[in-house]
Chain A
Amino acid sequence: MYTKRYAQRYFEDVQENEALPEVHLEVTFKRVIQDAAATLDYFPGHHDPEYAQTQGQKTVYLNTMCLQGFIDRVVTDWAGPYTFILKRKMTMARSVYAGDTMYGKGRVIKKYAHDGRHLVDIGIEVGNEEGVCCPASVTVVLPSKNG
């Protein structure tokens, strides 16, 4: 079977404190609606601007599952598709709204072996034009060149 090859970062390639490439995503109104559909999350704060405003929000905002997927994408865009997300913690400090451009950036905190697995801790920050919205930390399992 022919399998296309994709770039993968191995445990040995990773440097502590190295920065991950920044990822950007335009958060149009359409994308926020798409988010509700893609995650089956019809909480009105994610599709009804009037309801979002009664919650003290500017307008409709992205949901947890979208931010989680974006955090994971920042990691796997950098590390490659053989990466297993083992843990992810994220905090919603502020919302990401329709009309924003969202960024995601990250930095390697630590690399270590544990229980025979090669782990990397990464600090992630998701934000918009006004600054940080969602600080996160992710632990991934990476393949090793030494098996």
Chain B
Amino acid sequence: MQEAPTKSPTGFDLKFGTYEQAKAMIGTKSEVLFSDVDVNVPMIKYYAAHLEDANPSYWDEDFATQAWGSVVSPPGMLMSWLMPLPWKPSGRGVAPLLATQVPLPGDTLINVSTETEFIRPIRAGERLNVTDEVADVTPEKQTRLGKGHFITTVATFRNEKGAVVAKNTNVMFRFSL
């Protein structure tokens, strides 16, 4: 049975429950989530500007076309492409974070580690989608930040043709102070 989501100041509809309920979610896959936008040059330039990254793969279309076939997404933008726009006419989408849907007591979360494998360059004009899977939930642990559980998820990113572009293994700490 699904519990009603509770509004949390985190901006995510965090699910609350027990560790037993959380463990039962190991192996659960999310539905396919689609990006609101194509991989696009203006957002690529904004991100590269934010980091003061002069890599011409993001700035120089002639160079990028010759090197990669087109301007490419900075690898660090992988997860950004799946973040929902803050508003859209059909209603706000959900963040592609299955970890927020694992029922646990903690009222906040913080990212701990991320391991990403890139299969091929992500080119401007592609439209990405993602499926996320719960790989592990640890028993309660006490850390410097508080008491909580570590959730490991594995996300597979594909382009609109179904080709896998990247895989992300993410560990998040869901905790209470």
| Interface of A toward B, CB cutoff 8 Å | 1-4, 6, 25, 31, 34-35, 37-45, 51, 54-56, 63-66, 68-73, 76-77, 81-82, 84-92
Contact = CB atoms under 8 A, between A and B. Distances in A.
Contacts of A31: 50
B10 A85 contact: no
Contacts of B144: 56
A83 B116 CA distance: 16
Nearest to A55: B108
Interface of B: 9-12, 43, 46-47, 49-57, 60, 62-63, 66-67, 74-80, 83-86, 108, 110-118, 121, 144-146, 177
A87 B166 CA distance: 9
Contact of A92 (B60, B84, B110): B110
Contact of A3 (B66, B80, B112, B118): B66
Contacts of B53: 69, 72-73, 76-77
B51 A69 contact: yes
Contact of B83 (A40, A69, A77, A92): A40
B177 A54 contact: yes
A38 B112 contact: no
A87 B75 CA distance: 10
Contact of B80 (A6, A39, A45, A90): A39
B71 to A, nearest CB: 11
A82 B64 CA distance: 9
A87 B113 contact: no
A90 B112 CA distance: 9
Contacts of B115: 87-90
Contacts of B111: 63-64, 92
A54 B146 CA distance: 11
B67 A82 contact: yes
A91 B76 CA distance: 14
Contact of A66 (B49, B56, B62, B76): B76
A41 B62 CA distance: 31
Given A73-B52, A84-B121, A86-B118, 6 more contacts: A25-B51, A38-B80, A39-B47, A42-B86, A69-B75, A90-B114
A145 to B, nearest CB: 17
Given A3-B63, A4-B62, A65-B79, A25 B118 contact: no
Contacts of A40: 80, 83-86
A73 B55 contact: yes
A90 B144 CA distance: 19
A62 B114 CA distance: 15
A81 B55 contact: yes
A89 B83 contact: no
B81 to A, nearest CB: 9
Nearest to B169: A89
B146 A56 contact: yes
